[in-house]
Amino acid sequence: MITTDDDVVALAATVNDPEIPVLSIRDLGILRDGHLEDDGAVRLTITPTYSGCPAMDAIRDDLERVFHEAGHERVQVDLVLSPAWTTDWMTEEGKAKLEEYGIAPPTGGSSLHAGPVRLGLAVKCPRCHSLNTRELSRFGSTSCKALYVCQDCREPFDYFKVL
């Protein structure tokens, strides 16, 4: 039974990203908030990894489904674009799951922080952990990932770009 905001967030966090099914929307950092309104309605806030992310409709539908199955017929999912999503919102557990899945997780903080200009560092291969890698394409299987190849094990892999 859902009786608190924490219960709302916990149930919403059971929804996985349709493009990276090993990550929950909480792990990915797109689940921003969840509330149980006084009238029993559920209100959720999500932010896409980028403004044109095609997975948001599927995520909204999955959120509505899990709450309907839990007995909540009134579910409102708000899509907010500001502040823009950043890889800083990903959980450490989520980053570990990415690597286990074969996607190099983002390294370092986002460029949203004030300070010196960031330098591009080597991306570690999620398979053999070599730093001897190179970018093949700025865009990988989705716009939030880049395509890399490991020069040691010769395997291509996605790198979740720091945003």
Strand-strand pairing, 42-46 and 75-79: parallel
Write the CATH number for 33: 3.30.300.130
Residue 66 lies in a domain: yes
Question: Do the domain assignments include residue 85?
Answer: no
Let me know if residue 126 belongs to a domain.
yes
Q: Are residues 60 and 107 in the same domain?
A: no
Residue ending a domain, among 28, 47, 79, is 79
* 156 and 95 within one domain: yes
How far is C-alpha 13 from the chain's CA centre?
A: 11
Query: Is residue 73 located within the same domain as residue 103?
Result: no
**Residue 136: how many CB atoms within 10 A of its CB?**
12
Q: Are residues 62 and 108 in the same domain?
A: no
Describe the strand order of the beta sheet including 75-79 as a list of residue ranges: 31-36, 42-46, 75-79
H/E segment holding residue 65? helix 56-69
Q: How many domains does the chain have?
A: 2
Provide the pLDDT for residue 110.
Answer: 63
At 51 the pLDDT is 82
Residues spanned by the domain of 131? 91-160
Residue 84 inside a domain? The answer is: no
| Residue 153 and residue 102 share a domain | yes
Tens digit of pLDDT at every position of the chain (163 positions)? 788 999 999 999 999 999 999 999 999 999 999 999 999 999 999 999 988 888 999 999 999 999 999 999 999 999 999 999 999 999 999 999 999 999 999 887 665 555 555 555 789 999 999 999 999 999 888 888 899 999 999 999 999 888 7
If you write DSSP's letter for every residue of 11-52 in order, what string do you get? HHTTPBPSSSTTSBHHHHT-EEEEEE-TTS-EEEEE--SSTT
**pLDDT the model gives residue 53:** 86
